[in-house]
């Protein structure tokens, strides 16, 4: 991994770049690195690198609304949003392979800075049987359509350990 | 939470009436190197103090009334200044009064008004300043888009393109395909909103995005995230806006024409992914309308065909309107209101909001534009429109200096209800103050006889929404 060439902890004041003299406009460079934890969601992001899709569900029988047909949360949640009991993990890779469909989709042509997905990027929202939520993700190698059956593709060879390790292709 | 109790949805209470008496803005620009943020905030406050016919000898007398201050500033990383509220408070010379910074994304301005109003309503303060700003020009547009995208879930959304417009467009596409049937007519309605709002901005000296566009101009503009094109999207802005809120006694001491303010807020999940199907919270007029209720059953049923609010509605806007209407007695907003300022972050979210706040039933939003109701002068009939929207130009035509936006909207509605629109938009001196020439095709956008207005301030892909309702005191519905 390459680092920036100059040390941001020791900026040289004489290196100030002036953009404009009146009004006086100067550059203020920085490139801080954040150390970010996935905490309790670690299983999800490690799972992508292992080719598995993990959701969570609430097994508290007193949770209201309970007995729902679609009960799995994807993105996973550590605590149930209704009763705040800790949720259980469930591997939903196979059901995603069999039932996932595109709920909605768009094409991103002009991404923001620091974007790492290939442009144009097909952004899709994915509905899966038994899942109460609609995951945002990316589609590979096809023109998306609402209702299109899709299956997950995992980046297991050189994982980024981000949501970009998951994509979908037509089924 | 997808189940609500009556307690959850009880109409909010103000323990005593809240009034707005004065407002002020800086002008708004994409880039504003000529002035520091502090200068823009002081200028907005000076306009509030000196140009609203307040019964005071000058700024120092007004400062003698203010008891606490609420500052709206969303993005510390844009402005590159933490604790900006302390800096602005100092430049306004309001130490040692208590103050607080408020941030709820795009709804920051609305939330600031909400908190300020609650301070008056509770009895904590008799006179309160709400002031908001944003500085979005320290970085280029694409870094700006990245910064905005960090207001999505950074692990599950931001990585996917670093572009908020994309996250919005997923909703837009679903709405378009479901309710718009992907039709050219629906695309044209979206374009008409951009044409309308950019056009109204031409008569607003504060506005940044004035342009006389055609539907074709909008449809030829570059795609940002399909179906949203450049002109479907709001502006990125630098500027400030201020509002003065008072209890009844102080309001009439300071002003001969104070305006009543009711305000409420709603919320929904940050990630659109997490929006589970639920029953529609019905607005007052919908509760009595069996046709609408049947229509909603057909549209959503048990959520098998289309979940509610899913990707087609904003629950936060619906809930904010639900609270606000029940708080002040609005039954049918089309009948009871005279103008609105909506949060047109995107043309399509503007249409979705028409439905969320009951200007049209779900699925029929485009009719608000196509009927001509949304215009000052209905283009179909040449008669006054029923409920003109975004006469400032809105976020598409005027500005979206995030922390200022919701405050600007409320201030502009107040001026309309005070019949002072011309005073704050027509004078050539005002145009010159902002380095502009008053255009030859300037239009008078005062809504004649306006008594009640509404403003919606909206964050995220619908994470926070406030609904402000302003009424002339003689036009209250709930006594």
Nearest chain B Cα distance for residue A22, angstroms: 8
- Write the CA distances from B344 to A65, B7, B27, B319, B321, integer angstroms: 34, 31, 19, 18, 16
Query: Cβ neighbours of residue B191 under 8 Å, at least 6 residues apart?
Result: B215, B218, B219, B231, B232, B347
Structure tokens at A83: 């009763």
* pLDDT tens-digit series, residues A58-112: 988 888 775 555 689 999 999 998 888 999 999 999 999 999 999 999 998 888 9
For chain B, the distance separating the N- and C-terminal CA atoms, rounded to the nearest angstrom, is 33
- Write the CA distances from B420 to A103, B38, B356, B445, integer angstroms: 48, 27, 30, 11
Task: Flag whether residue A28 sits within 8 Å of chain B, measured between CB atoms.
Answer: yes
Q: Residue A3 pLDDT > 60, yes or no?
A: no
Q: What is the mean pLDDT of residues B159-177?
A: 90
pLDDT band at B182 (very low <50, low <70, confident <90, very high): confident
User: A109 vs B162: CB contact, 8 Å cut-off?
Assistant: no
Q: Alpha-carbon distance A28 to A11, whole Å?
A: 10
Q: Residue A29 pLDDT > 90, yes or no?
A: no
If phi > 0 it is left, if psi is from -120 to 50 it is alpha, else beta; for residue A5 that is alpha
Q: Residue A136 pLDDT > 80, yes or no?
A: yes
Q: What is the mean pLDDT of residues B156-182?
A: 89
Percent of chain B with pLDDT over 70: 100
Least confident of A55-69, A129-143, B93-107, B230-244: A55-69
| A25 neighbourhood in chain B, CB within 8 Å | 33
More confident residue, A52 or A65: A52
Q: Alpha-carbon distance B300 to B406, whole Å?
A: 32
Q: Residue B301 pLDDT > 90, yes or no?
A: no
**Chain B interface, mutation test: which of A106, A137, A155, most B Cβ atoms within 10 Å?**
A106
**Which residues pair with residue A73 across a beta bridge?**
A56
Inter-residue contact A75 to B271 (CB < 8 Å)? yes
Containing B56, the helix (H) or strand (E) segment is none
Check residue A14 and give its pLDDT: 65
User: B160 vs A123: CB contact, 8 Å cut-off?
Assistant: yes
Q: What angle do CA B141, B146, B149 make, to 5 degrees?
A: 125
Q: Count Cβ atoms below 10 Å from residue B434 Cβ, excluding itself.
A: 13
Structure tokens at A117: 């997905």
Check residue B349 and give its pLDDT: 92
- When CB atoms are compared, the residue of A65, A115, A125 closest to B161 is A115
Q: Residue B462 pLDDT > 60, yes or no?
A: yes
Q: CA of B34: which chain A residue's CA is closest?
A: A23
* pLDDT tens-digit series, residues B7-31: 999 999 999 999 999 999 999 999 9
User: B33 vs A146: CB contact, 8 Å cut-off?
Assistant: no
pLDDT band at B248 (very low <50, low <70, confident <90, very high): very high
SS3 B402: helix
User: A138 vs B153: CB contact, 8 Å cut-off?
Assistant: no
Q: H helices within B255-314, ranges in order?
A: 284-287, 290-300
| B148 neighbourhood in chain A, CB within 8 Å | 112
Under CATH, to which class is A39-170 assigned? mainly beta
Check residue A67 and give its pLDDT: 52
Beta strands B452-458 and B339-341: pairing type? Answer: parallel
* pLDDT tens-digit series, residues B419-451: 999 999 999 999 999 999 999 999 999 999 999
Q: What is the mean pLDDT of residues B309-325?
A: 96
Do you know the residue count of chain B?
479
- When CB atoms are compared, the residue of B140, B155, B223 closest to A38 is B155
Q: CA of A76: which chain B residue's CA is closest?
A: B274
Using the Cα atoms of residue B161, residue B164, residue B165 and residue B169 in order, give the sign of their dihedral: positive
User: B174 vs A103: CB contact, 8 Å cut-off?
Assistant: yes
Q: Residue B277 pLDDT > 60, yes or no?
A: yes
Q: Alpha-carbon distance B108 to B114, whole Å?
A: 10
User: B162 vs A106: CB contact, 8 Å cut-off?
Assistant: no
Q: Residue B241 pLDDT > 90, yes or no?
A: yes
Q: CA of A118: which chain B residue's CA is closest?
A: B161
| B173 neighbourhood in chain A, CB within 8 Å | 104-106, 146
B181-190: long-range contacts (C-beta < 8 A, 24 or more apart)?
A: B185/B366, B186/B366, B187/B219, B187/B227, B188/B215, B189/B351, B189/B366, B189/B369, B189/B370, B190/B218, B190/B227, B190/B232, B190/B347, B190/B348, B190/B351
Q: Residue A19 pLDDT > 80, yes or no?
A: yes
- When CB atoms are compared, the residue of B143, B172, B274 closest to A133 is B274
Structure tokens at B375: 């215009």
Q: Alpha-carbon distance B134 to B400, whole Å?
A: 8
Interface subset of A 83-102, CB within 8 angstroms of B: none
In chain A, where the domains are located: 39-170
Check residue A1 and give its pLDDT: 41
Q: Alpha-carbon distance A38 to B328, whole Å?
A: 45
User: B166 vs A123: CB contact, 8 Å cut-off?
Assistant: yes
Check residue B227 and give its pLDDT: 83
**Cis ω before A120 (30° cut-off from 0):** yes
| B34 neighbourhood in chain A, CB within 8 Å | 23
Percent of chain A with pLDDT over 70: 88
| B8 neighbourhood in chain A, CB within 8 Å | none
| Arithmetic mean of pLDDT over chain B | 95
- When CB atoms are compared, the residue of B142, B170, B222 closest to A112 is B142
Q: Residue A2 pLDDT > 50, yes or no?
A: no
User: B1 vs A82: CB contact, 8 Å cut-off?
Assistant: yes
SS3 B28: coil
């Amino acid at each position: 991994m390459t680092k920036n060439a100059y040390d941001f902890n020791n900026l040289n004041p004489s290196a100030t770049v002036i953009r404009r003299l009146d009004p006086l406009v100067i550059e203020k460079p920085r490139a801080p690195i954040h150390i970010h934890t996935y905490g309790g969601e670690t299983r999800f992001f490690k799972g992508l690198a292992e080719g598995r899709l993990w959701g969570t569900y609430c097994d508290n029988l007193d949770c209201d609304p309970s007995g729902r047909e679609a009960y799995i949360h994807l993105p996973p949640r550590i605590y149930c949003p209704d009763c705040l009991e800790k949720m259980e993990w469930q591997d939903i890779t196979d059901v995603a392979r069999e039932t996932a469909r595109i709920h909605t989709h768009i094409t991103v042509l002009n991404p923001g800075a620091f974007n790492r997905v290939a442009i144009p990027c097909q952004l899709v929202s994915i509905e899966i049987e038994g899942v109460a939520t609609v995951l945002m993700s990316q589609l590979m190698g096809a023109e998306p359509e609402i209702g299109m059956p899709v299956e997950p593709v995992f980046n297991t060879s050189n994982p980024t350990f981000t949501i970009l390790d998951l994509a979908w292709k037509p089924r | 939470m997808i189940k609500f109790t009556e307690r959850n949805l009880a109409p909010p209470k103000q323990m005593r009436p809240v009034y707005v008496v004065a407002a002020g803005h800086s002008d708004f620009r994409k880039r504003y190197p000529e002035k520091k943020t502090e200068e823009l905030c002081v200028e907005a406050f000076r306009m509030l103090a000196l140009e609203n016919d307040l019964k005071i000898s000058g700024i120092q007398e007004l400062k003698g009334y203010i008891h606490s201050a609420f500052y709206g500033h969303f993005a510390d990383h844009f402005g590159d200044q933490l604790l900006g509220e302390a800096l602005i408070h100092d430049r306004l010379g309001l130490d040692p009064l208590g103050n607080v910074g408020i941030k709820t994304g795009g709804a920051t301005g609305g939330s600031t008004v909400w908190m300020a109003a609650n301070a008056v309503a509770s009895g904590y303060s008799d006179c309160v300043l709400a002031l908001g700003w944003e500085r979005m020009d320290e970085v280029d547009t694409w870094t700006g888009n990245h910064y905005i995208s960090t207001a999505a879930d950074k692990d599950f959304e931001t990585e996917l393109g670093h572009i908020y417009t994309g996250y919005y467009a997923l909703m837009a596409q679903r709405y378009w395909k479901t309710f718009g049937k992907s039709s050219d007519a629906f695309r044209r309605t979206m374009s008409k909103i951009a044409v309308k709002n950019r056009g109204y901005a031409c008569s607003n000296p504060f506005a940044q995005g004035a342009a006389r566009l055609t539907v074709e101009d909008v449809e030829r503009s570059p795609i940002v995230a399909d179906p949203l094109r450049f002109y479907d999207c709001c502006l990125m802005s630098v500027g400030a806006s201020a509002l003065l809120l008072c209890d009844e006694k102080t309001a009439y001491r300071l002003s001969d024409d104070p305006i009543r303010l009711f305000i409420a807020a709603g919320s929904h999940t940050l990630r659109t992914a997490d929006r589970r199907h639920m029953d529609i919270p019905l607005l007052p007029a919908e509760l009595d309308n069996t046709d609408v209720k049947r229509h909603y059953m057909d549209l959503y049923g048990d959520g098998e065909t289309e979940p509610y609010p899913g990707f087609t509605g904003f629950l936060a806007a619906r809930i904010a309107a639900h609270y606000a209407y029940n708080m002040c007695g609005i039954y049918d907003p089309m009948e009871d209101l005279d103008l609105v300022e909506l949060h047109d972050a995107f043309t399509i979210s503007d249409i979705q909001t028409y439905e969320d706040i009951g200007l049209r039933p779900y699925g029929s939003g485009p009719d608000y534009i196509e009927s001509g109701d949304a215009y000052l002068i209905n283009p179909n009939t040449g008669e006054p429109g029923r409920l003109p929207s975004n006469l400032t130009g809105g976020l598409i035509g005027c500005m979206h200096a995030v922390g200022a936006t919701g405050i600007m909207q409320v201030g502009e509605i107040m001026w309309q209800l005070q019949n002072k629109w011309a005073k704050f938009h027509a004078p050539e001196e005002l145009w010159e103050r902002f380095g502009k020439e008053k255009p030859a095709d300037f239009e008078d956008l005062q809504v004649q006889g306006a008594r009640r207005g509404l403003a919606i301030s909206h964050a995220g892909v619908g994470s926070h929404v406030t609904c402000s309702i302003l009424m002339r005191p003689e036009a209250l519905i709930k006594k």
